[in-house]
Amino acid sequence: MSEPRLDSLPAAIETAGDYEAHAATRLDPVAWRYLQDGSGKGLTLAANRRAFEAASLLPRPLVDVRGGHTRLNLFGQTLAHPIMLAPIAYQRLFHADGECASAMAAAAQGGAFWVSSLASQTLESIADASRQTGDAPWFQLYWQGERASTLRLTRRAEAAGYPVLMLTVDAPVKLATLQLPGAVQAVNLERPLTADPPPPNGSPVFDGWMARAPTWDDLAWLRDQLRQPLILKGILHPDDAEHAIRLGCDGLVVSNHGGRVLDGAPASLDALPEILARVAGRVPVLLDSGIRDGRDVFKALSLGASAVLLGRPYIWGLTSAGAIGVAHVIRLLRDELEMSMALCGCKTLADLNMSQRGHAA
C-alpha cells in the first residue's frame, strides 16, 4: 500500500534527489514506472546522466560576487532564475492538486512552468492558480493531428493568458502509454489522439501513426497563426535548428524527451554545443533532459544554454508534498546553482561561459 502524501516538507531532505525515495513509496507502481522509465533499454536515459557526470566545473576563487543573482529575460518575460518546469502530462496521477500545484510553485519561485497539452486540469484553472502566486504559466503544444483543432487549442491557451507557446516535435503523436484512471484524463483535448488506419498494404507507422504528425509545412503555418513567441522543442540536429529559425521560431529546446521516445538518441547535453554553434546567438537555446541538480544547470548554462527544463525531480516533489514539495525542489536547485556560480567566480548568468573557458572573471 502506498504511503500517504505529506502536508509539510519531508525530514532530512538535502537535495532534489532525496525526494525520489519519498515519491516512490507514495505512488502506484504503474504510475511510478510511467514516470521513471525511459524507452527501450533506457540507453538514452542513461546517456543523459553520463553526459552531465562527465562535464566538470572549474573553480575560480577570489572573485567578488557580492550582489550576484540569477535573473534573466527570456521571450519578453523576466524570470528570477533559469530553472523551468518541463511539461509533464497527467499530473493528477502524482498528486490530487496536479498541474495547479506545480504552476503555483513555479510562479511563487519566480520561474516558469510549461503546461502540457495533456494536462489533467483545465488550462484556465492552471493559469488562475499560477496567478495566485506570480505570473501566468507557458503552454506546450502537441500537434492535434490536423490544423483546425491544433489552432483551436492554441487560441484557447492564448485566451487564458499563456504568453509563450512551445511545440514539441520529437514525440510527433503523443499517446498515453498506460491505462489512465477515470478521474485523470487529458481534459483540454477535443478528442483522444488516434492513428489513422493505414491503406491496404500500407504501413501502420508511415501511413497510420505518422499521417497524424506535423511537418515543416505545418510548422510554417503555425508560426503564421500565432502572436506569441513560438519555441520548438525536440531538436538534436543542427540542420533542424537552422530550418526552424528560417521558419521564424523564436527559440529552440535541445531535448531527447528525457529518454522516453527514441532509445539510442544522443544525450541532449552532448548535442547542445553543435546546435549552439549553428544558431550563433540568433535565438535562445534551452536544454531539456537529464537535469537532476543545480550543478547540472550550471553545466548546461556554461555551455551556452539560456535556461533549462527540469522534469522528473519536480514530480518527485509534487508526489511527496504537493506545491510545497515542488517549490522546495526548485529552491534546492537554485541554491546549488548559486553556490556553483559563486565557487566558479560567476556573479551573473552572463559570466558562466567565460568562467568555464578559463577567461578572467
Residue 199: partners with Cβ closer than 8 Å, 6 or more residues away? 207
Selected catalytic residue, list 22, 81, 257, 328? 257
Output the nine-digit C-alpha cell for 169: 516535435
* Dihedral sign from CA coordinates of 323, 8, 311, 353: positive
Phi, psi of 168 (to 5 degrees): -90, 125
Name the packing angle between helices 312-343 and 98-108 (round to 10°). 10
Residue 222: partners with Cβ closer than 8 Å, 6 or more residues away? 147, 150, 151, 154, 167, 214, 230
Q: Using only the alpha carbons of the chain, give its radius of gyration.
A: 20
Alpha-carbon distance values, 195 to 211, 230, 261 (Å): 7, 26, 17
Name the packing angle between helices 98-108 and 123-131 (round to 10°). 30
Annotated active-site residue 257? The verdict is yes
Which residues are tagged catalytic?
A: 257
